[in-house]
Structure 1
Amino acid sequence: MSLVEVIIGRLDDAGTPFRVVGGAAGLAVLEQRRTRTPAAFVMVAEEASGANERMTGPVLQRLETDIAVVLVLENLGDPRGGTVADDIEALKAFVRARLIGFRPDSAAEPMEHVSGELLKVRGGAVWAEERFSCARFLEELP
């Protein structure tokens, strides 16, 4: 199971406030047509590898992966987004509580929060991105 799939599962557990939790493909569909909200879309935003940590033998590199969780909340009766702007804070708190300190099986360390950003407010919808970091190791296969 990929890191994105593991995080989607963690956000889609019982008690989730989201009506839709998906990957990047779901976000692309949302751009074309309306979907049920609140929604969360999980994707790899950036990856950076460190230098080989071994002097001899197979390659071992630390891989830092930034995971973006894009939150979308909509209230068509509020075209300026004032009401949903407040509600998005509760969604951010839920995502942070589920992911900060979470250690996927493939991870070298627990996940950490990197940043949060308001992406847009338009037509009664608020889009926000929460970014988390997860460290893993890449190893040369024998």
Structure 2
Amino acid sequence: MNEIPRGTLQEQTFYEQVGGEPVFRRLVHRFYEGVADDPLLRPMYPEEDLGPAEERFALFLMQYWGGPRTYSENRGHPRLRMRHAPFRVDRAAHDAWLRHMRVAVEELELAPEHETQLWNYLTYAAASMINSEG
């Protein structure tokens, strides 16, 4: 019987395949560098320091892609639409969010299949957050 060694690509999560925590932290940090100077998105982050939002988003993405469950352990179910409901998220905000995320994703220089998988999720997630016409 041929056994597949543990840790092979078939058993690895997306999180592991792309490089784990450091990759997701780079992605989110670069994204928030763009948000910090964005006149449309920055007001949606009431905290003076974007650090807490950056940490929450990094933990969420790591968990979503198969990493540690720290996000849920600290904050419960993600409830993304509910958490974003207080903010007016229209098409312009959606586009700005994706513009900053595109830069962050491209700078990771992931394998094409991983980049496509990640980008498909991010575009879906961004579209699902729209809660206002405009």
TM-score range, shorter chain: 0.3 to 0.5
TM-score by length of 2: 0.36
TM-score by length of 1: 0.35
**Higher share of residues assigned strand:** 1
Query: Max radius of gyration: which structure?
Result: 1
Higher RCO by CA contacts (8 Å cutoff, separation 6 or greater): 2
**Higher share of residues assigned helix:** 2
